Amino acid sequence: MVDDEELTPLHPNHVKVLRVVTALATLPFVIVALVLEVRAFLFPGAFMVPVVLAALYVVLRIPLRRYHARGYQMGEDRLRVVKGLLFRSDTVVPFGRVQHIDVDQGPLERAYGLATLTVHTAGTHNASVTLPGLANETAMEMREAIRAHIRRDTM
């Protein structure tokens, strides 16, 4: 979908959360490289240097690219969510199709003051749309705005 309006970026703390998650995902590779480094009889750094450099690149660059590839647009009667680096997804959720709305926080999100808004819709294909990386207050305000719109439609 092509839309002339600008997308609203996610909260900047979302990059920090993505980096922590990515660092935890690269940790096993660094540990394996350390074990191989200790056991192998090659020159020092043969395993650690390339693995640590690759891990640093992945931790610093990929979360930033993922952050810039996401955005949303809250309209009068719809929510538009755009995401994806390789596979782009541009989803528009009309408020009239919304069944219920969740605001979730994991421990990392809570530490950074973030939340994930999940909008559940009628239907089976893409029945729920998630929007992570929102400030907790923003997620709550969006939930209330969508809920108010749903009430108006049912009355």
Q: So where are the chain's domains?
A: 13-67, 72-154
> Helix (H, G, I), strand (E, B), or coil: what is residue 80?
strand
SS3 133: strand
Q: Note the CATH number of domain 72-154.
A: 2.30.29
**Which whole-number Å values give the CA distances from 143 to 10, 29, 155, in the listed order?**
16, 39, 19
| Amino acid letter, 71 | G
The identity of residue 6, as a single letter, is: E
DSSP character for 8?
B
pLDDT tens, residue order, the chain (155 aa):
445 578 999 999 999 999 999 999 999 999 999 998 888 777 788 889 999 999 999 999 999 999 999 999 999 899 999 999 999 999 999 998 899 999 999 999 999 999 999 999 887 676 899 999 999 999 999 999 999 887 766 55
pTM of the complete model? 0.85
Instruction: Look at strands 89-94 and 98-104 and give their pairing.
Output: unpaired
The pLDDT assigned to 65 comes to: 96
